[in-house]
Chain A
Amino acid sequence: MAPAHVVLWIASGILFGIFSASIGAHGIAFVALAVSLCIAGAAKKAPRVAVIMCLISFACGTFYYFLFIRASAAREVIPARAEPFEAIVISEPRFTERSQRFTVRLASPFYGTATVVTRISPEFAYGDLLHITGEVARTEEDPRERYTVLFPSIELVAQDKGNVLRTTLLRFKSRALHEFTHLLPHDEASLMSGITLGARGDFDAELKTQMSRSGTTHLVALSGYNISILALVAFGIFGAFLKRRTAFICVTIIITGFVLMVGGEASVVRAALMGFLVLFAREAGRLYDVRNAILLTALMMAFIDPRILAYDVGFQLSFGSFLGILFLETPMRRMLCLGDTPGILGWRENLATTLAAQSAVMPLLAFTFGTASIASFIANILILGIMPLVMTVGFFLAALGMLWSAAGFLIAPLAGILLKYILGVIALFSLFYTLPGTFFSHTALILCYYAGLVFLGYYFRDGKERQ
């Protein structure tokens, strides 16, 4: 068996094990896996060694999940009822209309993290040391947010107590955001902040609804797309006057900094790791296998925190859509007879990519956001073509604005028009028919849906022309 296949069997075994353990179905899943693998083994579809390896890795994954949960729970020291405590803010606050929510790390003598929900003002920031009086309540739904403190009384003790590097990067980010708000009208500025830096603090409720209805929320969630554009630009700059290896190190540093700056969302970490693996494989001169790269990335992220597999929607969405693009893009092209040319502004490519990604995560989107829009396909085709341009303009706007505000003023109208166009598309397509989220509430329906997708992917697979 080739090393690539060994990696495939082991990695999928571990990931499946972790996932089953986190939803509490590891027993049934193990039996189901064992039965199906034995059948596959008997039918000579899978080597016997692979079957054994996969089952052992499944058990390892399950074990690791429980070990992780127990170990992190054992170290926790949580304040008793209404006992005041000090804590440091370790995330950027997220704002809703009436509240702000952030994660804090409890200071000694306590240990652990908690989510604080408090009034919208005063606004807190990453690195604030707070004196908090309030009840630390235990929640069961999400194992990553095991403790919450609701509307406590908070006193600001000190600022800038967080990681120095991250504080500096965040300061840089807020300066860039300031340029956007200064140079662009409100909605355009929010959109640009989301597209380039993944900042969603200023999004108005109305705009949020419109984006979710038109299926364009992913534009303001940082993804592999943003990272790849950043990496390309950085490579272009460094590659021009540095050796390849030095350029590789520089780009890695920049991408790491960017990930830290934007808050380490799952999709960004995934994209950065993927990009890093690709670069690394190229450096090492190895053949690069996309499927294994994804699996290894997932494995790495699950190793750091196994709870993301079942509870981080961002992670699921980004992996789901990536798998969709990987396995369904070519079948979609074949099914719609799109041919191999990109089309004006790459519309054929965008259509196939969007269809592939969206159809892979449709049930998840419907379940999480309540709506999954049919019109979103068209909206995305109309928008994705100009995204690289928007991002490049955005980065230039921030950089030039910081250096010399008059230069920012010159670019602002260009950015304004592009953003206005995107906002127009979002507003228009949010008016159209939306598929109600309840459609995917039945497990059987979801299974049927995915069975259909697998069939579609198989029927229109590579090497088979449509009749």
Chain B
Amino acid sequence: MRVLYFWGIIFAMEKKGSKHIGTAILAVLVLLDLTLWYAIFSGRTDHATRIHFLDVGQGDSALFTFPNRVQMLIDAGPPRSASRPLSRAMRREDRYIDLAILTHPELDHMGGYAELLERYEFGAFLWNGRTDANAKEEWRELTDALRARSIPMIAIGAGDRILIASSTAHFISPDRTWAQSGAPNDAGLVMHIGTPNLRALFTADIDSKVEADLVKKEMFGAEVLKIAHHGSKYSSSETFLRAVAPHVAVVSAGKGNRYGHPTQDVLARIAHMGAEIFRTDQNGTVEIVGEGTTLKIFVGK
């Protein structure tokens, strides 16, 4: 289609050179029309659930697309990192993201939002309610930018739910205690999303203390698990992994990062569970598509 269009333009240019300006203009208009119809019909019409774990370097960012094509961005990675992989994950002309979620205001999760706000429109901004970011300036700039664009900021925590058609995003942490923890990572939003195609668990940067608490409280199986804290050895305990029982585990970490994420311990624990491991530092952006009851995984996009 694009090649056709391109050659059409060249044809039009050649024609312009001779005296067929009318034909040339007509050709351009017809092609423009075709492009528009192509854009309309090329939209995805399936009812799949898609998760893109974006390759943002050392940080977290994932785009969750529900079967009815509502889009939710969970974190935005470090500054100026998410725009390119996100633009590749979304449709070309799409500039609207329904929900922006910030699991906790730390730079490797929040930094990318500043740039994304310049490029995309957001329906609402949901975060864990903490304001003691480790990067005060950036947090102030982010909240200013949100206010300037009249994007509602909603603080959420354990017990809150978002219903999207036949899917549910269920927030299971932080409860009152963890929300006030001295360690900002403990207060990260943990979210269990169930769609007709798959269940996924997003665990922010929580460590094994919070995990132990969650395991005690409720049961939450998931086929797809975002490994907590980029694969730090203080997270993803064996008990927790067993409770979740994922088929696919995704680690979001930067190539050659100075923290040594993901650690061998965690990788061994996941492997022991029998789950498939995908890593953004090795695989690039990882796309998981749930269609019917099958999971398809694409890497390196």
Contacts and interface: CB of A to CB of B under 8 A. Distances in A.
Interface of A: 95, 97, 120-123, 178, 181-182, 185-187, 202, 204, 345, 389, 409-410, 412-414, 416-418, 420-421
Contact of B2 (A178, A182, A409, A417): A417
A454 to B, nearest CB: 39
A120 B79 contact: yes
10 contacts: A120-B78, A121-B79, A121-B135, A121-B141, A122-B138, A202-B83, A409-B93, A410-B32, A413-B32, A420-B2
Interface in B5-19: 5-6, 9-10, 13
Looking at A187, A410, A417, the one whose CB has the most chain B CB atoms below 10 A away is A417
B87 A187 contact: yes
Given A186-B83, A204-B84, A421-B6, A181 B119 contact: yes
B95 to A, nearest CB: 7
A418 B6 contact: yes
Contact of B92 (A95, A185, A202, A345): A185
A394 to B, nearest CB: 15
A417 B93 CA distance: 13
Interface of B: 2, 5-6, 9-10, 13, 32, 35-36, 39, 57, 78-80, 83-84, 86-88, 92-93, 95, 107, 111, 114, 118-119, 135, 137-138, 141
Contacts of B111: 120-121
A180 to B, nearest CB: 10
Contact of B84 (A186, A345, A413, A421): A186
A193 to B, nearest CB: 12
Contacts of A97: 57
A297 B119 CA distance: 40
B9 A412 contact: no
Contacts of A95: 80
A182 B116 CA distance: 11
B6 A121 contact: no
A123 B95 CA distance: 23
A31 B282 CA distance: 59
B294 to A, nearest CB: 29
A417 B79 contact: no
Looking at A185, A186, A418, the one whose CB has the most chain B CB atoms below 10 A away is A185
Contacts, number: 62
B9 A121 contact: no
Given A122-B137, A413-B32, A185 B79 contact: no
A120 B108 CA distance: 12
Contacts of B36: 413
Contact of A181 (B80, B107, B118): B118
A389 B119 contact: no
Nearest to B83: A186
Contacts of A122: 137-138, 141
Nearest to A185: B87
Nearest to A416: B92
Contacts of B86: 186
Given A121-B111, A186-B86, 15 more contacts: A120-B111, A121-B114, A121-B137, A123-B114, A181-B119, A185-B88, A187-B87, A202-B80, A202-B83, A389-B13, A413-B5, A414-B5, A414-B32, A416-B92, A417-B6
Given A185-B88, A410-B32, A178 B118 contact: yes
Contacts of A121: 79, 107, 111, 114, 135, 137-138, 141
A409 B2 CA distance: 17
The 6 closest A-B pairs by CB, nearest first: A186-B87, A121-B79, A186-B84, A185-B87, A413-B35, A122-B137
Given A187-B84, A413-B32, A417-B6, A182 B119 contact: yes
Given A418-B6, A420-B2, A413 B39 contact: yes
Nearest to A154: B137
Contacts of B137: 121-122
A113 B79 CA distance: 28
Looking at B78, B80, B111, the one whose CB has the most chain A CB atoms below 10 A away is B80
Contacts of B78: 120
Contacts of B2: 417, 420-421
A181 B83 CA distance: 10
Contacts of A416: 92
Contact of A414 (B9, B87, B88): B9
A104 to B, nearest CB: 18
A209 to B, nearest CB: 14
Contacts of B107: 121
Contacts of B6: 417-418, 421
A9 B141 CA distance: 57
B88 A186 contact: yes
